[in-house]
């Protein structure tokens, strides 16, 4: 009886271990490090803003940007906000048009949602809804054309 119970417990433990390993792999695949500290989803390069970009959405994005982003990125997104990291101001400049190819909608979305440690970018997935983040994405993408 003891041997049978022990065998059942062993099988259950192996199954649970396999399940937990598969679950952690699936979770890791959802957001993976990009090498620069960003946690980007596997679809970051192809993910498009699901919201219709219009004046109302841009106004919402601008409002959220002013409230949450302007302190570091500055009022025009040039990386010159009062809390900007002086060593990373170039990276914080959202107006650089040549970075557009490296920062399509999905990449910007994940960067805002997940943040990174260094240079510091706050995590906003607990503070902002996905729609608010997409509104910020839409607004930030317009800053490149203002240069």
**7, containing H or E segment:** helix 2-30
Residue 135 has pLDDT above 90, yes or no: yes
What's the whole-number mean pLDDT along residues 52-59? 97
Around Cβ 109, how many Cβ atoms within 10 Å? 23
Q: Same domain, yes or no, for 46 and 117?
A: yes
**Are 79 and 115 in a shared domain?**
yes
- Residues β-bridged to residue 33: 39
> Does residue 122 share a domain with residue 77?
yes
User: Domain check: are 56 and 82 in the same one?
Assistant: yes
The listed range with the strongest mean pLDDT (63-67, 75-79, 120-124) is 63-67
pTM of the model: 0.74
pLDDT surpassing 80 at residue 50: yes
Comparing C-alpha atoms, which of 98, 101, 96, 109 is closest to residue 137?
109
**Are 72 and 126 in a shared domain?**
yes
Half-sphere exposure of 19 (CA within 13 A, CB side): 6
pLDDT reading at 134 higher than 70? yes
Q: Per the structure, how many domains does the chain have?
A: 2
**Summary mean pLDDT of the chain:** 82
- Say if residue 16 is in the same domain as residue 49: no
Alpha-carbon gap, residue 82 to 1, rounded angstroms: 71
Q: Are residues 84 and 128 in the same domain?
A: yes
Residues 109 and 58 reside in one and the same domain: yes
Q: Which domain holds residue 16?
A: 2-30
């Amino acid at each position: 009886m003891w041997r049978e119970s022990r065998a059942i417990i062993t099988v259950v433990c192996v199954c649970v271990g396999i399940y937990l390993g598969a679950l952690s792999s699936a979770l890791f695949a959802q957001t993976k490090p990009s090498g620069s500290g960003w946690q980007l989803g596997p679809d970051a390069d192809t993910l498009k803003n699901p919201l219709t970009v219009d004046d109302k959405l841009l106004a919402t994005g601008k409002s959220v940007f002013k409230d949450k982003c302007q302190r570091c990125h500055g009022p025009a997104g040039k990386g010159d906000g009062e809390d900007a990291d002086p060593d990373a101001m170039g990276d914080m400049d959202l107006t650089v048009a040549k970075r557009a190819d490296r920062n399509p909608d999905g990449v910007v979305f994940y960067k805002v949602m997940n943040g990174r440690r260094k240079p510091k970018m706050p995590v906003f997935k607990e503070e902002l809804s996905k729609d608010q983040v997409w509104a910020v994405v839409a607004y930030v993408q317009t800053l490149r054309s203002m240069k």
